[in-house]
């Protein structure tokens, strides 16, 4: 199973995108040309699969960070 967290598009070159996550940057493929730099996205298996609003991205990242904190304490 693959877990995904939101990332922010920081560069687009044709169908290739650079996505910034907390603590790292990765490359992904774009299937839809309507994405823009600054969009928050979900990436599955190296392909941008969904655009998120900034509020949705913040909610998911907050939940992810809370889960990481709880797991680190266990």
Which CATH number fits the domain that encloses residue 51?
A: 2.30.30.140
Number of domains into which the chain is organized: 1
**Quick one: pLDDT band at residue 1, thresholds 50, 70, 90?**
low
49 within a domain of the structure (yes/no): yes
Does 21 map to a domain?
Answer: yes
Confidence class for position 62, pLDDT limits 50, 70, 90: very high
Q: pTM value?
A: 0.85
Radius of gyration of the CA atoms of the chain, in A: 13
pLDDT digits (tens, 9 = 90+) for 23-43: 899 999 998 889 999 999 999
Contact 50, 40 (CB under 8 A): no
Is residue 55 in a domain?
A: yes
What range defines the domain where residue 14 resides? Answer: 7-73
Residue 1 falls inside a structural domain: no
Return the residue matching tokens 């922010």.
8
* pLDDT above 90 for 21: yes
Q: Does a structural domain hold residue 2?
A: no
Is 11 a domain residue? yes
Q: Tell me what pLDDT residue 2 has.
A: 64
C-alpha–C-alpha distance, residues 46 and 48, integer Å:
7
């Amino acid at each position: 199973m693959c877990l995904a967290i939101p990332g922010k598009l920081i560069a687009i070159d044709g169908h290739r995108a650079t996505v910034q996550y907390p603590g790292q940057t990765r490359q992904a493929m774009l299937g839809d040309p309507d994405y823009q730099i600054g969009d928050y996205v979900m990436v599955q298996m190296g392909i941008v699969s969904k655009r998120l609003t900034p509020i949705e991205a913040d909610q998911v990242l907050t939940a992810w960070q809370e889960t990481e904190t709880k797991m680190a304490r266990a």
